[in-house]
Structure 1
């Protein structure tokens, strides 16, 4: 009986789209198959020769977000960490687009994060194997600590 329950819970948690270990990635759907010869294709970091990066590194970007996300109007619980996942595209000119924040545990939180990311300075652009500038999707977790 215990064996059946374990299988049942594993099958529920691993239902749907799968990552490299076979479990669901609930936040961002798997991108559709695409033609990377398309000049507007969006690359994943692993598909680039040189991935896009924030000029001063990811730690500096996280500091930038901490300083620019305005949570004063939000009613975030005190002494509790809140984590969201952020995804965006770094365009060929270094600007950010298609910003997605999930989940939204508190009303207005996604808008606050999107507003802050929209203010980001330009990023260093990704390049493909031929050295051409390409669009790249970037995803990272962000934790609010109150």
Structure 2
């Protein structure tokens, strides 16, 4: 017989309850199969829970076995725009001013020089009568009665103002110079440097963003690049990527003006395009 504990799902109890009744009815089968159904549901739920938790790990493992296709990114070569030519034509110097004519006539009265008689071909010195109406000088010259009286600077140890040539152009930034700054190895090496270091931004690739970025910077006297800034940017991270790569650029050959390295402002375009 039945024990003291009531178990309505026990087969013996089910047989008593459904004795003399239609056991083909669904309630009898449901109660009879309930333990198996419960265990099966518990196992399925546990497996589903474990599968959901481990799904990211499974996906990562599958990705590790699938070879990645090479991304085809096309970056066009950079063409450096040459600066405008320097106008080296200088205006001719003004003609020297003629000395003003003295107000009084001058007669030639050079200092005496001792020479052999055979070499002396001088004129006779001026007479006292000539010196009464004319001043002595190094040459004969007619005076201008209407000229202003000119007072010459006194001869002696006057104050002397020293004139020195400028040692350089200091911090002046040139837009055009005699010899332009250049990347080590020329434009071809500069284009290779950009292709090797630029990484096309993911957001730009997803949105199919292309275009040209203009970066302005100053090539210092030691060849380093300073004051880098974006002048034009299509967006989606293209300008920031070009700026990042130029910041790690090696030192350039500085620009030359008057035989000395100077600071030169430079602008370069960087083209971004996706391979079709």
Alignment TM-score > 0.5, same fold: yes
Residue deviations 1:77-106 (CA, integer Å, cap 9, x gap): 44x641111211111111111112232222
Match of 2:243 among 114, 118, 121: 114
RMSD: 2.1
More helix by share: 2
TM-score (norm 1): 0.64
- Partner in structure 2 of residue 142 of structure 1: 270
> 1: distance between equivalents of 2:200 and 2:241?
7
1:132 correspondence with 2:132: no
SS of the equivalent of 1:64 reads helix
Larger radius of gyration: 2
Give 5+ residue unaligned stretches, structure 1. Answer: 1-19, 21-36
Give 5+ residue unaligned stretches, structure 2. Answer: 1-83, 85-167
SS of the equivalent of 2:218 reads strand
Stretch moving more, 110-119 or 69-78: 69-78
Residue deviations 1:46-97 (CA, integer Å, cap 9, x gap): 3x1211111111122122112212224332444x641111211111111111
Stretch moving more, 135-144 or 80-89: 80-89
Do the aligned partners of 2:229 and 2:243 also contact (CA within 8 Å) in 1?
yes
Do the aligned partners of 1:74 and 1:106 also contact (CA within 8 Å) in 2?
no
- Partner in structure 2 of residue 42 of structure 1: 173
Do the aligned partners of 2:204 and 2:210 also contact (CA within 8 Å) in 1?
no
Do the aligned partners of 1:89 and 1:97 also contact (CA within 8 Å) in 2?
yes
> 2: distance between equivalents of 1:66 and 1:86?
16
Do the aligned partners of 1:91 and 1:125 also contact (CA within 8 Å) in 2?
yes
> 2: distance between equivalents of 1:104 and 1:134?
29
Do the aligned partners of 1:74 and 1:109 also contact (CA within 8 Å) in 2?
no
Match of 2:191 among 49, 62, 69: 62
1:75 correspondence with 2:204: yes
More strand by share: 1
Aligned residue pairs total 107
**Runs of 4+ with deviation above 4 angstroms:** none
- Partner in structure 1 of residue 219 of structure 2: 90
Do the aligned partners of 1:81 and 1:144 also contact (CA within 8 Å) in 2?
yes
